[in-house]
């Protein structure tokens, strides 16, 4: 079974602006986590915080290609997955594709985990679209689990 989760969305902004929304710590709180400890750069470990859920976690930034690609791992030792965010500019818009891989096929909960990750990425990218296109920054952290 292919356990990779893929989500794509069109954002009506140029790729450099979408890239900065993820990598600039002053912007990520407008659509995703409450805060990011520092700029996302290759080789760095960045702490992401959700004040609303009293939670934080670390990501390891594995690869960054300015305005095109961000690759990071998260989830801890036994649950680690790799997320690849690819930005493809098309005229005045950007197609953002998120691929998350590494979910264990033999995990009895793998389907539920895949569905949860898919739901999370659709929600995150929807919040990003609202923020980037309309300045809406109140959608994030509204999912009820």
Residues 97-126 have pLDDT tens digits of 999 999 999 889 999 999 999 999 999 999
**124: alpha, beta or left, given left = phi > 0 and alpha = psi -120 to 50?**
alpha
Residue 2, pLDDT above cutoff 80? yes
C-alpha separations of 62 from 73, 124, 142 in Å: 7, 21, 29
> Is residue 102, in this structure, part of any structural domain at all?
yes
> Is residue 36, in this structure, part of any structural domain at all?
yes
Residue 144, pLDDT above cutoff 70? no
Across the chain, what does the average pLDDT equal? Answer: 93
> Is residue 139, in this structure, part of any structural domain at all?
no
pLDDT range class, residue 49, cuts 50, 70, 90? very high
Domain membership of residue 99 as a residue range = 5-134
> Is residue 141, in this structure, part of any structural domain at all?
no
pTM of the complete model: 0.93
> Is residue 89, in this structure, part of any structural domain at all?
yes
Domain count, the chain: 1
Q: Residues 132-143: pLDDT tens digits?
A: 999 999 888 776
Give the CATH number of the domain where residue 52 resides: 3.30.530.20
> Is residue 119, in this structure, part of any structural domain at all?
yes
> Is residue 21, in this structure, part of any structural domain at all?
yes
pLDDT of residue 53: 86
Residue 77, pLDDT above cutoff 80? no
> Is residue 62, in this structure, part of any structural domain at all?
yes
Rounded Cα distance between 46 and 102, Å, is 20
């Amino acid at each position: 079974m292919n356990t990779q989760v893929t989500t794509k969305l069109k954002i009506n902004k140029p790729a450099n602006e979408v890239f900065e929304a993820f990598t600039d710590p002053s912007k990520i709180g407008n659509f995703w986590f409450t805060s990011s400890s520092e700029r996302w750069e290759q080789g760095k470990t960045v702490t992401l915080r959700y004040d609303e859920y009293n939670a934080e976690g670390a990501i390891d930034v594995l690869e960054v290609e300015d305005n095109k690609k961000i690759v990071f791992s998260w989830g801890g030792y036994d649950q680690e997955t790799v997320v690849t965010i690819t930005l493809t500019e098309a005229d005045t818009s950007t197609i953002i594709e998120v691929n998350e891989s590494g979910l264990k096929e033999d995990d009895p909960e793998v389907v539920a985990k895949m569905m949860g990750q898919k739901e999370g990425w659709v929600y995150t990218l929807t919040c990003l679209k609202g923020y980037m296109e309309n300045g809406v920054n109140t959608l994030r952290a509204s999912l009820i689990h």
